[in-house]
Structure 1
Amino acid sequence: MRGTVAGLPSPHPLVELLPALYLEQDFLRRFLSALDDVLAPILLTLDNLPAHLDPRSAPEDLLDWVAQWVAAEPHRDEPVERRRTAVTGAVDRHSRRGTRGGLAEAVRRQTGVEPEIAESGGSGWSATPNTELPGEERPWVTVRLRVAEPEAVDRVGVEELIEGEIPAHIGYELEILPLAAEAPGPAAERPSGEPPSGERPSGEPPSGERP
């Protein structure tokens, strides 16, 4: 505990707990008043414990501690409101982590930009045995951001985010483009089976499935 807080009243003054016989004794009132100054921060914290544990209202020095409970680690240099949002939605995001939608939400939350995501995965069904699997054999994902000032984007921070969101065996590539850049057409898409040239090499997908 940091000690007393000047002017902070106690919600439960000790003098009120005394028998009426002692209420008029000036020494006791002054002595207990000093103890009230010490106990006031503790009592007020306990009275407001739910608010201290809620990421929307927790003091900043407790926010990082609360974040550890839900495996959320927002960067300390991010604005506090963005950090609160990251912790508040962490549990819900964990259920979508590793998916295209989860990656898009994470990038959008950190950058404020809606990303364009292309990836090699696919899904489908067939009543015919040995039907060719959808998607591509080599897993990859490309995250494309279109912003007014590409040089202002923290590329390293976004790459760290992508690496933490996608499965470990997926290769990735981050493209940060100016708003005026045109979206690539079908001919400009990556050839089938060719992974991106990102920092992490692609691994082989598990047998019988593709990401």
Structure 2
Amino acid sequence: MRRAVEGLDTPYPIGTLLPAVFQEDPVAMAWTAALDDVLAPAISALDCLAAYADPLLAPEDFVGWLAGWVGTVLDENWPLERQRATVAHSVRLYRTRGTVEGLRALIELVTAGEVEIAESGGVAWSTAPNTEPPGEATPRLFVRVTLPRGVSVDAAALEALIVAEKPAHVPHRLEVVDT
């Protein structure tokens, strides 16, 4: 007889829960054993539900689904560990989204590189009216990513990531430096 998942047994066999008269019946035991084989994967998934919700422990094919839960888009070309780390840090990254530090943290996470950002904006407050606004009049953003030895990054994907994260009206320039 073939199992639904080879080698996966149920920790709660149904046949042992039957009255003794049915436990002595080979047909009843065979029927409940077949049910055990079908239900074993579902029972295993329910027993491990906490691990499915943790991107560092979840099965490989479940990480992309978790990314959808937190609104993160993953590049399937990234190594699995980078995908897991991106999903694990998504909530923290959303707290700083739209800031220079948030952009820096995201790019460092997906590239494993050193990120330098120069931008024209600024934030200030004043109690005096007509105070000169901070920053430069012309918006700009420059991102330099220095990659560690042996790490490669798809520049087009990184470009798309920056476009998605920066303010739409701010032009940007990306420079990727290999060491």
TM-score, normalised by the number of residues in structure 2: 0.89
- CA distance in 1 between counterparts of 2:42 and 2:120 reads 55
Equivalent residue runs for 1:43-192 within 5 Å = 43-147=43-147, 152-177=152-177, 179=179
- CA distance in 2 between counterparts of 1:115 and 1:74 reads 20
- Structure richer in helix, relative to its length: 2
2:114–2:147 Cα contact (<8 Å) kept: no
The letter of the residue matching 2:162 is: I
Q: Deviations over 1:95-133 (max 9, x none)?
A: 111100011011111111121110001122333321111
* Count of residue pairs the alignment pairs up: 177
TM-score, normalised by the number of residues in structure 1: 0.77
2:144–2:177 Cα contact (<8 Å) kept: yes
Report deviation, 1:55: 1.4
State the Cα RMSD in Å.
2.1
The letter of the residue matching 2:128 is: T
Q: Which moved more, 1:12-21 or 1:47-56?
A: 47-56
- 5+ residue gaps in structure 2? none
Report deviation, 1:153: 3.8
Report deviation, 1:154: 2.1
Question: Equivalent residue for 1:201?
Answer: none
- 5+ residue gaps in structure 1? 180-211
- CA distance in 1 between counterparts of 2:94 and 2:148 reads 31
Calculate percent identity across the aligned residue pairs: 43
The letter of the residue matching 2:46 is: L
Which secondary structure state, in structure 1, belongs to the residue aligned with residue 81 of structure 2?
A: helix
The letter of the residue matching 1:133 is: P
